[in-house]
Amino acid sequence: RFLGEAKVPLQEVLATPSLSASFNAPLLDTKKQPTGASLVLQVSYTPLPGAAPLFPSPTPLESSPTMPDLDVVADTGGEEDTEDQGLTGDEAEPLLDQSNTQGPGAPTTPRKPPFHPPPYHSGSRRKRSSRRKPLSDKPQDFQIRVQVIEGRQLPGVNIKPVVKVTAAGQTKRTRIHKGNSPLFNETLFFNVCESPAQLFDEPIFITVVDSRSLRTDALIGEFRMDVGTIYREPRHAYLRKWLLLSDPDDFSVGARGYLKASLCVLGPGDEAPLERKDPSEDKEDIEGNLLRPTGVALRGAHFCLKVFRAEDLPQMDDAVMDNVKQIFGFDSNKKNLVDPFMEVSFAGKMLCSKILEKTANPQWNQSITLPAVFPSMCEKMRVRVIDWDRLTHNDIVATTYLSMSQISAPGGEIE
């Protein structure tokens, strides 16, 4: 039975050089009244191996004018602040409302101090502290909306994933799908009546489990985020963000797949945002649109594509264009009007092969290597044969796509 609950501020732990603090936390009942009992706790923080120290050795500084207060942000392994990320220009569809209001703006960049910046310590980042107004203790009506869009590179063989979302003590789940890259397109609603001071500290758990496993709800990966983090975003929403799933009990395992979702917290008088659309899915900046928890790192990888030859490429330039080239002093190419080269693009990166002029049967015999992160969020690598043109725009001869799940997969049946 329920005996009581207590909240412990972890900021006090990180504020001490020993990264340890003692608490005497009184227990509260369901009405937030003291029960008379208390818990004595000793809380310590152990940094991950290789992480930069939160309290580096001091370096003597020259006297300098008074500077604004700065907060030190712990090492994130090169990751971006999730609280500073906004909407990126990926393709979208209306998530929550049918109005034509644009989504949140681009991420903000912290400004540098104007005079004598403090010494740089590897692995730490600094940003201006923002003073926030105290939150109200009066209960208000809020609605939390989580749109689960799709998953990619979920680990496992012949899995049937389902997404469970827990917010404000409520748990809801999507329908069961099949495969390692399922398409959900479901929106879950949570209606809450709580005070902002209490609600904004509560986490949202987004958990992907395998419903096919013999074990009950075998965990695939999880992502957590506070309600207040979402509400402090422009328009109180993260729209069409990629969430890096991890093992909540062991971050050293690394990435456990990706889940694309939109999260929105609406208070009294707030309008539901409308996502910005982009007609081209290839323009999606996936790496810049990724939210990942601190301590989870991605492994670097290289995709090597060996390009050998092509046969019987069609003529792209007509005879009229060939005559125009002759007028401008270029050689006539009536027999073979194609100058082909290969273009390979993956995860926003693009590389090209060498150009072979005046041939319908090119032999490149070339290796193209694309850097990437593993596991990758992108499913398809686009390969194009393009006819290079000196005067006008290049012509696309042919396009094909290579599936990453067929190249790099955990094994078993690929669905």
- What pLDDT was estimated at residue 376? 60
Confidence label for 370 from pLDDT (cuts 50, 70 and 90):
confident
SS3 per-residue string spanning 16-52: CCCCEEEEEEEEECCCCCEEEEEEEEEEECCCCCCCC
Q: How do residues 8-36 score in pLDDT, each as one tens digit?
A: 888 788 888 888 888 888 888 887 888 88
Mean pLDDT of the chain: 73
Same domain, 191 and 310: no
149-153, 324-328, 330-334, 346-350: least confidently modelled range:
330-334
- Whether residue 355 is predicted with pLDDT greater than 60 in this model: the reply is yes
Residue 150 lies in a domain: yes
Residue 155 lies in a domain: yes
pLDDT at res. 347 = 66
Choice between 414 and 312, residue whose per-residue pLDDT is larger: 312
Task: Please tell me the predicted confidence (pLDDT) of residue 131.
Answer: 53
What is the reported pLDDT for 181?
87
Same domain, 263 and 344: no
Same domain, 213 and 317: no
Amino acid letter, residue 197: A
Residue 146 lies in a domain: yes
Is residue 398 in some structural domain?
Answer: yes
Both 388 and 313 in a single domain?
yes
Buried b (16+ CB within 10 A) or exposed e, 253-262: eebbbbbbbb
- What's the rounded Cα separation, in Å, for the pair 225 and 214? 29
Contact (Cβ atoms closer than 8 angstroms) between residue 258 and residue 238: no
Considering only 84-98, 283-297, 349-363, which range has the smallest mean pLDDT?
A: 84-98
101 has pLDDT over 50: no
Q: Which residue has the higher pLDDT, 286 or 349?
A: 349
Angstrom CA distances, 96 to 61, 183, 226, 272, stand at: 52, 18, 20, 6
On the 0-12 / 13-18 / 19+ scale of CB atoms within 10 A, 337 is buried
In a domain, 99, yes or no: no
Whether 327 and 260 map to the same domain: the answer is no
Pick the most confident of 134-138, 198-202, 377-381.
Answer: 198-202
| Mean per-residue pLDDT, 312-317 | 77
For the chain, the maximum distance between any two Cα atoms, rounded to a whole number of angstroms, is 96
Phi-psi region of 282 (alpha: psi -120 to 50; beta: other; left: phi over 0): alpha
Q: By mean pLDDT, which of 102-111, 283-292, 298-307, 336-345 is the weakest?
A: 102-111
Overall average pLDDT of the 385-408 stretch: 82
Which range is least confidently modeled, 132-141, 187-196, 217-226?
A: 132-141
CATH code where residue 365 lies: 2.60.40.150
Residue 163 lies in a domain: yes
Q: Does the residue 194 lie in any domain?
A: yes
Closest C-alpha to 57, from 108, 101, 122: 122
Peptide bond just before 375 cis, omega within 30 deg: yes
Percent of the chain with pLDDT over 70: 63
Query: With 60 as the cut, is the pLDDT of residue 239 above it?
Result: yes
What was the pLDDT predicted at 299? 67
Same domain, 177 and 263: yes
Q: Is residue 236 part of a domain?
A: yes
Residues 238 and 314 in one domain: no
Q: Across residues 104-114, what is the average pLDDT? A: 44
pLDDT at 54 (0 to 100): 60
211 and 171 assigned to the same domain: yes
How many structural domains are present in the chain?
Answer: 3
Q: What is the pLDDT of residue 61?
A: 45
pLDDT at 288: 62
For residue 85, what pLDDT band results from cuts at 50, 70 and 90? very low
- The domain boundary, picked from 261, 291, 321, lies at 291
Of the pLDDT bands very low, low, confident and very high (cuts 50, 70, 90), residue 278 is low
- Residues 6 or more apart whose Cβ sits within 8 Å of residue 311: 360, 361
The DSSP symbol for 5 reads: B
Q: What is the pLDDT of residues 138-188, one digit of tens each?
A: 889 999 999 999 998 888 888 899 999 999 889 999 999 998 889 999 999
Note whether 192 and 247 are same-domain residues. yes
In a shared domain, residues 236 and 330: no
373 and 315 in one domain? yes
pLDDT digits (tens, 9 = 90+) for 33-68: 888 888 888 888 887 665 556 655 444 444 444 444
Q: What pLDDT shows up at residue 282?
A: 47
Q: How far is it, in rounded angstroms, from Cα 58 to Cα 60?
A: 7
Task: Indicate whether 266 and 356 sit together in one domain.
Answer: no
The predicted pLDDT at position 31 comes to 79
Instruction: Note the pLDDT of residue 96.
Output: 44
Confidence of residue 324 (pLDDT cuts 50, 70, 90): low
Question: Which residue range(s) make up the domain with 31?
Answer: 10-44
DSSP 244: E
